[in-house]
């Protein structure tokens, strides 16, 4: 018999992107970031610590995880074992309701759920700020998935002051995202490698940090004003400024694929017709469209000329973490 807990965490999409680490080991970013948690994509994780296990056992959607994931997750569990002062192994069962590694940030919901379930199973009663710091050690974007609605990750300078805070947990205005799943293959350049490359080689990187920091108060104000156009414009700018650092790196690289540009063009054309919609993308080819629920049917019709219905997933602001023992 063991000590068990289950957590559900939703993924999030950054409106102001996190891109680049000042401390890669502790995952302290160079710039603060701001995201919206989504209701449609989430991870359920159960962690059981047991005296009967001789190694950590990790299952993703009921199949054993690959060797690299095993090592990374075991190292993450070590942080919890240290805090709980025990050395029991764990069985981790994760069901991912997020297309894996395709720029839909399954690592965000994954490490947030793991941090919450594993700490609870280990008998630690961590508050949300401490959970956010712990999730950060698995994946930067997971720092923000502890909270629902709009969330800000304050970059900080060290392990204790780099965490997320809720900005608007209950979203009572009309904003949502259409995720266009162009492909759900593993991305060619993982975000970790992509960030390390741009920090080291892009001449635009210092400007990225400066503009991202300057955009934070503007985005905060746009959210408080519930101004979808301003939120969308700022999010689009942040995404393209981030992607400019990949094009300007040595060697240069891009997450764009031909269908990415196709999706961007549809959004631009719709906007010319007076429809409020804006695009954003993370470290993968998929495009997310920021829009109102009212205009979503028209946008889906326009996107439907190029993409299949099953490629178009609509998500609204989602909730923060939940844990059960």
Comparing CB distances to ligand PMV, the nearer of 123 and 204 is 204
Residue count, binding to ligand PMV (CB under 6 A)? 15
Print the binding letters for residues 110-139 with ligand PMV: x by CB under 6 A, - otherwise: -----------------------------x
Tell me how far, at minimum, the Cβ of 216 lies from ligand PMV, in Å.
12
Is residue 69 within 8 A of residue 141, CB to CB? The reply is no
Print the binding letters for residues 262-281 with ligand PMV: x by CB under 6 A, - otherwise: --------------------
Nearest CA among 144, 61, 152 for reference residue 99: 61
- Dist. CA 270–CA 297, nearest whole Å: 12
Tell me how far, at minimum, the Cβ of 49 lies from ligand PMV, in Å.
26
Following DSSP, what letter does each residue of 263-297 receive, concatenated? HHHHHHHHHHTT---EEE--SSS-EEEEE-TTTHH
Binding to ligand PMV (CB under 6 A): which residues in 136-175? 139-141
Comparing CB distances to ligand PMV, the nearer of 132 and 296 is 132
Is residue 171 within 8 A of residue 186, CB to CB? The reply is no
Contacts of 138 (CB under 8 A, 6+ apart): 72, 73, 76, 107, 110, 111, 114, 115
- Dist. CA 212–CA 14, nearest whole Å: 12
The answer to the question of residue 60 lying near ligand PMV (CB under 6 A) is no
The answer to the question of residue 246 lying near ligand PMV (CB under 6 A) is no
Comparing CB distances to ligand PMV, the nearer of 46 and 280 is 280
Comparing CB distances to ligand PMV, the nearer of 46 and 107 is 107
The answer to the question of residue 282 lying near ligand PMV (CB under 6 A) is yes
- Dist. CA 152–CA 209, nearest whole Å: 16
160 CB neighbour count, 10 Å cutoff: 10
The answer to the question of residue 107 lying near ligand PMV (CB under 6 A) is yes
Comparing CB distances to ligand PMV, the nearer of 140 and 317 is 140
Comparing CB distances to ligand PMV, the nearer of 45 and 107 is 107
- Dist. CA 297–CA 314, nearest whole Å: 10
The answer to the question of residue 17 lying near ligand PMV (CB under 6 A) is yes
Comparing CB distances to ligand PMV, the nearer of 93 and 282 is 282
Tell me how far, at minimum, the Cβ of 233 lies from ligand PMV, in Å.
18
φ, ψ (nearest 5 deg) of residue 226: 55, 40
| 36, 58, 108, 303: which one binds ligand PMV (CB under 6 A) | 108
Is residue 146 within 8 A of residue 321, CB to CB? The reply is yes
Cα dihedral 41, 92, 282, 178 in deg (nearest 10)? -10
Q: Which residues bind ligand PMV (CB under 6 A)?
A: 14, 17-19, 33, 105, 107-108, 139-141, 191-192, 282-283
């Amino acid at each position: 018999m063991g000590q068990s807990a289950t957590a559900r965490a939703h993924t999030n999409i950054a409106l102001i992107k996190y891109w680049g680490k000042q401390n890669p080991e502790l995952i302290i970013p160079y710039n603060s970031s701001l995201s919206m948690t989504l209701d449609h994509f989430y991870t359920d994780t159960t962690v059981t610590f047991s005296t009967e296990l001789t190694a950590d056992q990790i299952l993703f959607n009921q199949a054993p995880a690959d060797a690299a994931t095993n090592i990374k997750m075991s190292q993450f569990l070590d942080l919890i074992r240290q805090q709980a002062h025990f050395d029991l192994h764990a069985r981790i069962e994760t069901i991912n309701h997020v297309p894996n590694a395709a720029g839909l940030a399954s690592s965000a919901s994954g490490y947030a759920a793991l941090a919450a379930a594993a700490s609870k199973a280990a008998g630690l009663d961590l508050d949300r700020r401490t959970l956010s710091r712990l999730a950060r050690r698995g994946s930067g974007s997971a720092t923000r998935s502890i909270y629902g609605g709009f969330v800000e990750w304050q970059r900080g300078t060290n392990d204790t002051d780099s965490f997320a805070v809720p900005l608007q947990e209950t979203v009572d205005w009309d904003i949502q995202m259409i995720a266009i799943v162009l492909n759900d293959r593993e991305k060619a350049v993982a975000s970790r490698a992509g960030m390390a490359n741009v920090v080291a080689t892009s001449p635009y990187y210092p400007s990225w940090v400066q503009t991202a920091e300057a955009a934070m108060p503007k985005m905060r104000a746009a959210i408080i004003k519930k101004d979808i156009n301003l939120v969308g414009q700022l999010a689009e700018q942040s995404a393209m400024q981030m992607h400019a650092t990949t094009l300007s790196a040595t060697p240069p690289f891009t997450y764009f694929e031909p269908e990415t540009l196709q999706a961007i063009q549809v959004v631009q054309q719709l906007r010319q017709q007076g429809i409020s919609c804006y695009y954003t993308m993370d470290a993968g080819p998929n495009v997310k469209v920021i829009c109102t629920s009212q205009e979503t049917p028209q946008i889906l019709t326009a996107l439907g000329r190029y993409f299949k219905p099953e490629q178009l997933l609509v998500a609204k602001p989602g909730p923060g973490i939940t844990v059960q023992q």
